[in-house]
Amino acid sequence: MPDTITITDDRTGKTVTVPIEGGVFPAAAVRELDPSLFIYDPAYMQTAACRSAITYLDGDNGILRYRGYPIEQLAEHSTYLEVAYLLLNGELPDAAQLTKWKQDVTAHTFIHENMRKRFVDGFHYDAHPMGMLVSSLAALGTFYNDAKDIFDKPSRDKQILRLIAKTPTLAAMAYRFSVGLPFNYPDNALSFPANFLNMMWKIGDYEVDPRLERAMDVLFILHADHEQNCGTTAMRVVGSSHADPYSSCAAAASALYGPLHGGANEAVVRMLSEIGSMENVPAFIDDVKSGKGSRLMGFGHRVYKNYDPRAKIIKQTAYEVFEVTGKNPLLDIALALEETALNDPYFVDRKLYPNVDFYSGLIYQALGFPVDMFTVLFAIPRTVGWLAHWQELLGDKDQKISRPRQWYTGVDARDYVPVAAR
Ligand code: SDX
């Protein structure tokens, strides 16, 4: 059977046959038929917007691989910084490369004092930490005017290092500001996750528990990249105009802020708290199914029509964290929701399974993070995913500035009428 597709325009009888490769065919085929014809695809449900070699998803079988490595193996054996190197460079580092990479990232964890003293202090006392992070990412770019030299590789690599290294510092700074605590400077003798936890929690004598350090590293690995999700698409769209990487990351973080995307981990914990007890689960599920209530947050996915492989690993990690912190009382409600939904035709027929956000919030809450920090915890590791796709975009000869067309459904031409005559 030939790997081609033939499209015929019945209005003209014109036919075009194009190859199918990697599960896609070029939309240029439509241009060949009729340049004024466009494919209507709201939310890009059936569109491959780019070629990418970074992350592979198989939604039907619940498979996720970074540069070919199964997420399960990376979560068990790797670290976030090693995975960050893999996503950016395409290969795992050897020992010397990993040592240098860690040193390079560590060298960039500090932020300019003006960011801490002037910029952050300008926020309202109850500013949402994710709103602060989005703003801080864009503001950070104003300290590095060389960031605009996006085709100068040494400069581009330095901005990538700065963003990976400084995002945890900005995140911890937003939290400390929101609770009125003094800012903790990075302690570069610590690992990437331990440095973040230390900046978050250090008051007096504070030691990072190695079990929690490892749990944070696993969560960072699981959230590092996920193909062409909403936030990464925003990164690519803004990056396609050749904006600097700080502005592009701020756009990506803004998309992640939405409750249908990265904001779902915060929405899940609020949902579980509102449900309040296992006895209330059946009534809540009925409410969701009626379409009148909220969605079952943390369930469903545009790509995964099976169990999100990350959710399985996070659920296991939750038990390991609870051994240290004590069980999050909301876990029983989450387990009851999952059990009910996985056996209810409404969810089964729509292929709605737990996604990455369903259990992650329970861990964050058990670790002491306030709910409004949860999406910030998603943004920290996803920064390297955004940057890996931004870097790939800049090197892709197929890519131009993103500028889709539309299906115009407005009124036809009409003449202006002065207000007196309306
Ligand atoms: C992330 O893209 C990524 O990779 C994202 C992410 C990443 O790593 O970057 O994986 C991170 O964003 C995970 C998703 C977190 N969001 C949530 O958990 C919010 C709740 N989930 C949904 O709103 C929804 O499932 C989406 C947004 C995730 C996906 O939505 P789709 O693919 O656009 O599906 P849809 O809205 O068209 O829903 C299809 C049907 C509808 O029912 P009908 O109108 O056909 O009767 O399923 C229903 C929806 O009403 N549905 C749900 C539901 N999700 C979809 N019903 C109840 N609860 C839900 N959670």
How far is C-alpha 221 from the chain's CA centre?
12
Distance CA 189, CA 239 (A): 34
Q: The tokens of 39 are what?
A: 């494919």
Active site residue 357: yes
Predicted local distance difference test score (pLDDT) of residue 294: 86
Beta strands 14-19; 55-58: pairing state: unpaired
Give the active site residue among 261, 332, 344, 396.
Answer: 261
What digits encode the pLDDT tens for the residues 233-287? 999 999 999 999 999 999 999 999 999 999 899 999 999 999 999 999 999 999 9
Predicted local distance difference test score (pLDDT) of residue 185: 95
Active site residue 261: yes
In this structure, the residues whose C-beta lies within 6 A of any atom of ligand 1 are 226, 229-230, 260-261, 264, 288, 295-303, 350, 352, 355-357
How many C-beta atoms lie closer than 10 Å to residue 77's C-beta?
10
Ligand 1, atom 35, lies closest to the CA of 302
Predicted local distance difference test score (pLDDT) of residue 26: 95
Q: Are 83 and 217 in contact (CB under 8 A)?
A: no
Q: If you measure from the C-alpha of residue 197 to the centroid of ligand 1, how many angstroms do you get, rounded to a whole number?
A: 31
Distance CA 278, CA 332 (A): 7
Active site residue 128: no
Q: Is the pLDDT of residue 421 over 80?
A: yes
Of the pLDDT bands very low, low, confident and very high (cuts 50, 70, 90), residue 2 is confident
Predicted local distance difference test score (pLDDT) of residue 70: 98
Of the pLDDT bands very low, low, confident and very high (cuts 50, 70, 90), residue 117 is confident
286 phi, psi to nearest 5 deg? -60, -40
Burial (0-12, 13-18, 19+ Cβ within 10 Å), 95: exposed
∠ Cα 193 197 201 (to 5°)? 175
Q: If you measure from the C-alpha of residue 281 to the centroid of ligand 1, how many angstroms do you get, rounded to a whole number?
A: 20
Predicted local distance difference test score (pLDDT) of residue 120: 87
Predicted local distance difference test score (pLDDT) of residue 136: 97
Burial (0-12, 13-18, 19+ Cβ within 10 Å), 322: middle
pTM of the complete model: 0.95
- Over range 400-422, report the average pLDDT: 97
Of the pLDDT bands very low, low, confident and very high (cuts 50, 70, 90), residue 16 is very high
What digits encode the pLDDT tens for the residues 39-70? 999 999 999 999 999 999 999 999 999 999 99
Q: Are 277 and 332 in contact (CB under 8 A)?
A: no
What digits encode the pLDDT tens for the residues 148-166? 999 999 999 999 999 999 9
Q: Which domains does the chain have, with CATH numbers?
A: 80-192+225-255+374-394 (1.10.580.10)
Q: Is the pLDDT of residue 1 over 80?
A: no
- The percentage of residues in the chain with a pLDDT greater than 90, rounded to a whole number, is 95
Of the pLDDT bands very low, low, confident and very high (cuts 50, 70, 90), residue 99 is very high
Q: The tokens of 224 are what?
A: 């590092």
Give the active site residue among 244, 308, 357, 372.
Answer: 357
Atom of ligand 1 nearest to the CA of 302: 32
Q: Are 168 and 382 in contact (CB under 8 A)?
A: no
